[in-house]
Chains A and B, each alone.
Chain A
C-alpha cells in the first residue's frame, strides 16, 4: 500500500474513534468517514444500527446520556488486518471506559471492531461491532454469570431480610417496653388516686374506731370494778349467774378490743402508705441494716405462734459502701420481704411436708452507679397470673386475718420513693426472687 493510502486509512480510523468517544466532534461531518449504509452493533440489545442517520442518532443519544457524568476512554489496538487488494481493512480495539459519578467509579471493559473499505480514493467505515466483556471465564454460554448474578441477588435479599428481621425484633421490643411502661403508668395513676382515697377513708375510720377501742377498754375496766363490788355480796345462785354472764361480757369486750386493734393497725398501715415514713435520708450501711433486720425478722418469726426452720444465707457485697437512703423506711422494706418469704415457705412446709428445707438468701451487689438487693426464697413461688397484682394495695393471698394486703404495696412505694425498682421473678414450686435496684447518689 502506498504511503498516502496508508495515511488516509489511519486518519479514517482515528476519526471514527474520535467520533465515538469525544463530544465535540461535528456529527454533520461523519459522512466523510462512514458509508451511508453503514451497519453496526452497539453493546445494548436495542443497538442494532443501519444507515448513517441511525449511527448519528446513536452518537447523539450517547452524548445526551453522558452529559451529567464524567467519562474517560482509553483505547488500545489489539489486532488489524489489510485484506487482499488492499481495499479493505479491519481493526480490533480494547475500549476501556471509566465512568465517574459522585459516589463511585465504574470501569466498563468494551471491545470494538471496525471494518473499512477503500472507495473513491477514501477509506470509509462500513461495519462496527461493540461488545461488553463480562466476567464469565470458561463459560461461553453465560450460565455461570447468571448463577453469580443470582447469588449476588440472593445475598442482597438475605442481607436485607436479616436487616428487616432485626429491625422487626427491635420494634417488637420497643412496643413491649411501651406497653410495660403504659401498664406501669396506669398502675401508678391508680395507686396515686387510691392513695388519696385510702388516706381519706383511713382518717374517717380512725375516729369511730377510736371510740370502739376506748369504750370497749373502759367497759372492761368497769366490769372488773363490778366484779370487785359483786364479791362483797353474799353468795347465791343469782350472784353466780351474774358472775358467769359478766365473764362472758368481758370476754366479748376483749374480742371487740382485739378486732378493733386489728382494724387500727390496718388503718395505720393505710396512712403510712399515703403519707410515707418520717425518717431522714442519710448515708447508710445497707449491709449492716440487712444483717440487723434479717436477724430481727428471724427471731420475731421464731417467737411467733408458728415458727419454722429456715436456713438464712447472706451474701453481702463488701464493696457496697454507704448508700444514701431513708433507713427507717428501708428497714421496713427488708422486714416486709423477709416476713413474706417466711410466710410463703411456711405454706410450702404445710403442703409438702418436712422433707422440704426452707432456705432464704439475701444478696447485695454494687453495680457502680446502682446497688442491687436480692431476696430469694425456695418457697411455693408466685403463679404468673397474680404476679402483677402482688404490689396492689389490699391484694393478699394470706388466709383470714393474717395479712392486710398492704405490706408489698408499701414496700414498693418506699422503693419508688428512693427512685428504685422492684422486680419479681418466680417459678411455681421452685423459688421467688425479689430484686431491688437503687440508684447510688454520689455526693
Chain B
C-alpha cells in the first residue's frame, strides 16, 4: 500500500521514513514524498490512480496550499483519502478541510501514534 506525504520541509521525509521504518522494511507500507502541492499532483497524475491510496498534506506551503491540493485531489482522484497536517490547529482551517472532504486533521507536532493507528486501520482494511 502506498501513501504520499506532502510537505515543503524536506526533513519530514527522513522523519516519516524513520518512524515507519519497520512497516516499510517489511513492505507493508510504501511512502512517497512530494515537496509541493504541484509536485504531488504531478506524481498522482503520473503514477495512475490505483497506486496511492492515502495522501497526508501540510496546509501552509509556498505555491499551492494544502487546502487547494485537497480540492484538486478530491475532484480528480475522488477515491484517494486525504488528511491534513498543520501547525495551525484553528477551527477555520479544520472546518475548511473537513468541508472539502478531508478524512482527518492532524496538528503539529504530529502525534505519530495516532498517525500509525490511522495507517494501521488502512492496512487491516486491505
Contact = CB atoms under 8 A, between A and B. Distances in A.
A84 to B, nearest CB: 122
A215 B108 contact: no
Interface stretch (A88-96, A162-170, A180-188, A205-213): A205-213
Interface string B79-116: 00000000110000000000000000000111010000
A214 B9 contact: no
A203 interface: yes
A308 B88 CA distance: 39
Contact of A218 (B9, B18, B109): B18
Interface string B1-41: 00000000101000100110000000000000000000000
Contacts of B9: 207, 211
A264 B9 CA distance: 19
Contacts of A222: 18
Contacts of A214: 15, 19, 109-110, 112
Contacts of A207: 9, 87, 108
Interface string A187-226: 0000000000000000100110011011100100010000
A211 B14 CA distance: 10
Contacts of B108: 206-207, 210
> B-side binding surface: helix, strand, loop or mixed?
loop
B21 to A, nearest CB: 8
Contact of A210 (B19, B88, B109): B109
B15 A206 contact: no
Determine the interface band of chain B, counting residues with CB < 8 A from chain A: 10 to 19
Contacts of A203: 87-88
Determine the interface band of chain A, counting residues with CB < 8 A from chain B: 10 to 19
A293 to B, nearest CB: 25
Interface string A226-256: 0000000000000000000000000000000
B85 to A, nearest CB: 11
Contact of A206 (B11, B18, B87, B110): B87
A89 to B, nearest CB: 113
A222 B15 CA distance: 13
A351 to B, nearest CB: 40
Contacts of A215: 11, 15, 18
Contacts, number: 29
Nearest to B11: A211
Contact of A211 (B15, B19, B88, B112): B15
A215 B87 CA distance: 17
Interface string B53-91: 000000000000000000000000000000000011000
Interface in A303-338: none
A213 B110 CA distance: 11
A218 to B, nearest CB: 5
Contacts of B110: 210, 214
A76 B96 CA distance: 105
A214 B108 CA distance: 11
A215 B11 CA distance: 10
B19 A218 contact: yes
A221 to B, nearest CB: 9
A215 to B, nearest CB: 7
Contacts of A206: 87, 108-109
Nearest to B91: A278
Contacts of B112: 214
A274 to B, nearest CB: 12
A212 B43 CA distance: 29
B56 to A, nearest CB: 15
A210 B87 CA distance: 10
A206 B18 CA distance: 21
A206 B11 CA distance: 14
Contacts of B109: 206, 210, 213-214, 264
Nearest to A209: B109
Interface of B: 9, 11, 15, 18-19, 87-88, 108-110, 112
Given A211-B11, A214-B109, A218-B19, 20 more contacts: A203-B87, A203-B88, A206-B87, A206-B108, A206-B109, A207-B87, A207-B108, A210-B108, A210-B110, A211-B9, A213-B109, A214-B15, A214-B19, A214-B110, A215-B15, A215-B18, A218-B15, A218-B18, A222-B18, A264-B109
Smallest CB-CB A-B distances: 7 pairs? A210-B109, A218-B18, A211-B11, A214-B15, A210-B108, A206-B87, A207-B87
